[in-house]
Each structure stands twice: as C-alpha cells, then as structure tokens.
Chain A
Amino acid sequence: SQELEQSPQSLIVQEGKNLTINCTSSKTLYGLYWYKQKYGEGLIFLMMLQKGGEEKSHEKITAKLDEKKQQSSLHITASQPSHAGIYLCGADFNAGNNRKLIWGLGTSLAVNP
C-alpha cells in the first residue's frame, strides 16, 4: 500500500471556485513538500511544511500540516485556469543525511473558464 495517499485523484472545478487536495501519511512526517507539475513539464516546488499545525500561503494557495504531522491539505482559493496541473505531495520521513522523498500519486486539477 502507498505510504502517502493523495485525494482526490482528479478534480475538475469551475474558475473562481475553491478546492482542497489532501495528502495523508501512514506515519509521522519529518517534512511535507507540495509540488505542481504542469502537463508535459517538470515539477515546481510550491511550499514545505515541517511543524505540526504549520500553515503557509503563496498567492492563492495555502497548505497546512496537521498537529499530528500525518496529514496535509492544499487549498486553492478562487481557482484560475493557471492553477491547472498535477499537484504532488512528497514526504520526508527522516531527519538524517541522504534522505529520499516518498511521493503521492498526484491530483490532476482542471479549471474550466
């Protein structure tokens, strides 16, 4: 089973609507990373959360990490066509050297104008 579950798998929203994507871990996270991938392109870093209860915002995108550090949500306010793409969460489970990120399966977002 996946160590990191993302939901929903895909999402179609009307422009201007709000939406939320969730990322749930089977164990406590050391760090949680949100990335966006535009179709046919590489991944772009959005933000990173590390502390329980932490919340960060970048333009109209807000990400939160729960107190237990096992779930993160990404919320987009007043979505625009430019928000379309695949959103991936990546988890860091350790604090040591040479760590690797474990990835969720991604959420494909389409925003209809």
Chain B
Amino acid sequence: DTAVSQTPKYLVTQMGNDKSIKCEQNLGHDTMYWYKQDSKKFLKIMFSYNNKELIINETVPNRFSPKSPDKAHLNLHINSLELGDSAVYFCASGRSDLFSYNEQFFGPGTRLTVL
C-alpha cells in the first residue's frame, strides 16, 4: 500500500562509483520530484518531472541524471560520486495542474554515504 517507495533505503559506496536510486509512486500523480537533504536538514529540490518530461532542473551537476520511464517512476543516476554527494535523497510526487494544491507525498528517503 506504500504510496511513494524508494530503493535502496541505504547506500554506502566509494568515491568515483556510479549508483542509481529508484522511485515509484502508485498515487496516479503526474509530477515527481527528487530532493536532496543535507546534513543540516536543508531540503532542496533537484529535479521535477511532469508526465515523463523534465520541468525543473535546479543547477544540479551533470553527474546527476534523472530518468522517468513512465509517470509512475523517476530514477536518479549519479556518476562519479563525490564526498559532497552524501545526503538523504527524497523522492516525492504530486499533482501540478493549474490552481491545484501543490501537496507532495514523500518517499522514505535514501541515505547515501560516499566514502
């Protein structure tokens, strides 16, 4: 019954490696997001997809590449991981039509640790 799910929950890897995080939502929403929450708990949007199209890209390094195979899935691939990429990454989904509420539903997060 999980609305927004992410895998894996924890990811520990070496610098320079490439890794992916997967996200799926079963809420029928048309918009999905990736957020990064740093050690100071600051939540910052990275990307947003609406119906498989990239609509928000918040000055994220090219090493981060989101992919949306369909509107229920949004994956995040990270190349050449760096120490500063260590954070909790949250996936979220929501509706984004005109004048609708912008309530977003969050996944449980993926804690990425780069050694």
Residues of chain A at the chain B interface (Cβ within 8 Å): 31, 33, 35, 37, 40-45, 48, 50, 86, 88, 90, 92, 95-101, 103, 105-106, 108
- With an 8 A cutoff between CB atoms, is B115 at the interface? no
Asked if residues A42 and B98 are in contact (CB atoms below 8 Å), the reply is no
Tell me the complex Cα distance, A92–B95, Å.
Answer: 13
Q: How many residues on chain B are close to A (CB under 8 Å)?
A: 28
Asked if residues A42 and B106 are in contact (CB atoms below 8 Å), the reply is yes
- Shortest distance from the beta carbon of B89 to any chain A beta carbon, whole Å: 11
- With an 8 A cutoff between CB atoms, is B31 at the interface? yes
Asked if residues A101 and B98 are in contact (CB atoms below 8 Å), the reply is no
What A residues does B45 contact at CB under 8 A? 100-101, 103
The 5 closest A-B pairs by CB, nearest first: A42-B106, A43-B106, A103-B43, A98-B55, A92-B102
- Shortest distance from the beta carbon of B23 to any chain A beta carbon, whole Å: 11
